[in-house]
């Protein structure tokens, strides 16, 4: 079965999420939280090269991402087990969505994250679609 191509962003997500480096905890599932989704204009057309910003509300630290030609983006934030319940601000232009980092700290195999889509000036969190979107774009949602 072939997977759909998602351009440069999909490839970068795959490399970032599936790379195994023994040197640091930030490469482990238990030390990251991914915000991904799609950016479209008000008419529903995918927006390439759109900047998306994820800010940790507790620290003010900012993580940036950019969309590919399909309007897809993925931003990986450094959040450890102790960060469960922490607020994040996801911003695209003037559109802002506040989300909570929700995950099970006991689960050390499934990727942690949420999906936030932007259409025009509107945004919506689709947390339940995170794993399926990741599976579609990258082809893997856990490391066993």
Parent domain of 17:
7-137
The CATH number linked to 55 is 2.60.40.1120
Specify if 23 maps to a domain.
yes
Specify if 142 maps to a domain.
no
Specify if 77 maps to a domain.
yes
* Residue range 62-109, pLDDT digits in tens: 999 999 999 999 999 998 888 999 999 999 999 999 999 999 988 888
Specify if 73 maps to a domain.
yes
- Count of the separate structural domains present in the chain: 1
Specify if 76 maps to a domain.
yes
Give exposure, 79-112, as e/b (b: 16+ Cβ within 10 Å). beeebeebebebbbeebebebebebeeeeeeebb
Per-residue confidence (pLDDT) for residue 21, from 0 to 100? 39
Specify if 107 maps to a domain.
yes
Predicted confidence (pLDDT) at residue 23 exceeds the cutoff of 50: no
Specify if 143 maps to a domain.
no
CA pair distance 40, 10, nearest whole angstrom: 17
Question: What predicted TM-score, i.e. pTM, was given to this entire model?
Answer: 0.78
């Amino acid at each position: 079965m072939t997977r759909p191509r998602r351009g440069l962003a999909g490839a970068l997500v795959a490399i970032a999420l599936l790379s195994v480096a023994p040197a640091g905890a930030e490469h482990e599932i238990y030390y990251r939280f991914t915000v991904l989704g799609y950016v479209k204009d008000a008419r529903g057309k995918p927006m390439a090269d759109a900047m998306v910003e994820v800010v940790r509300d507790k620290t003010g630290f900012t993580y940036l991402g950019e969309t590919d030609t399909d309007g897809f983006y993925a931003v990986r934030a450094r959040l450890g087990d102790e960060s469960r319940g922490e607020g994040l601000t996801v911003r695209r232009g003037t559109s802002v969505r506040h989300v909570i980092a929700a995950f099970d700290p006991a689960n050390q195999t499934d990727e942690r994250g949420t999906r936030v889509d932007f259409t025009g000036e509107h945004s919506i969190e689709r947390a339940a679609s995170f794993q399926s979107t990741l599976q579609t774009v990258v082809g893997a949602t856990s490391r066993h």
